[in-house]
Structure 1
Amino acid sequence: MSRRKRRGRPVAILDARHHQAITLLAEGRLSYGEIADNIGIDRRTLHRWRMRKDFDRELRKVLARNEREWRRTMQSRLRLRTAHDMTWFFDAVGTV
């Protein structure tokens, strides 16, 4: 059995710019162009990063962590014990 060499570019390790992009993408407030400008890369580079499996895996981890944190906070906040809790809830939901 012969082993085949993998062709193509070697996979690079995610650096600080990648992690900064992941954080900004997970927040969901900025567009791709704004995120790229903040990091100092081209928008197309950000699109190429999104196609990488390791980048996508890290982004999914951050999104899952944010969701768990949001659920934990919501469970404690939804008890609505004080007027401050009620104000926070209605501000978060977007009513009143």
Structure 2
Amino acid sequence: MTRINYTQVASARARDEITLEKEIMMAGANNALQKPVEVSSELENVIGKGPMTRAQVTSKVWEYIKKHDLQVAEDKRMIEADEKLGAVIGKERISMFKMTAAVSKHLT
């Protein structure tokens, strides 16, 4: 019968967990969504002062859209901009997919 050295097993597990955490941190460090960006004055009127990450920008734009009820009722994928958001994405009705591209033009 083989004896199991539980100290070695626990040490190996801890080493694996540390390696996994380190890999996750390193992946996030190079992630473009996590790099701070500056926002244009038009976008600043909608989401507030930058710099912030692209992920934060997207989240805040969606908060604004929902707060001001700018999604089209019959098709929630479509956005109808008000004056502030229209300065960023245009006055026309726009799909949420194209909206992201329009917003990214206001990031540096």
TM-score by length of 2: 0.26
Higher helix share: 1
Q: Which structure's CA Rg is the greater one?
A: 2
TM-score by length of 1: 0.28
Higher strand share: 2
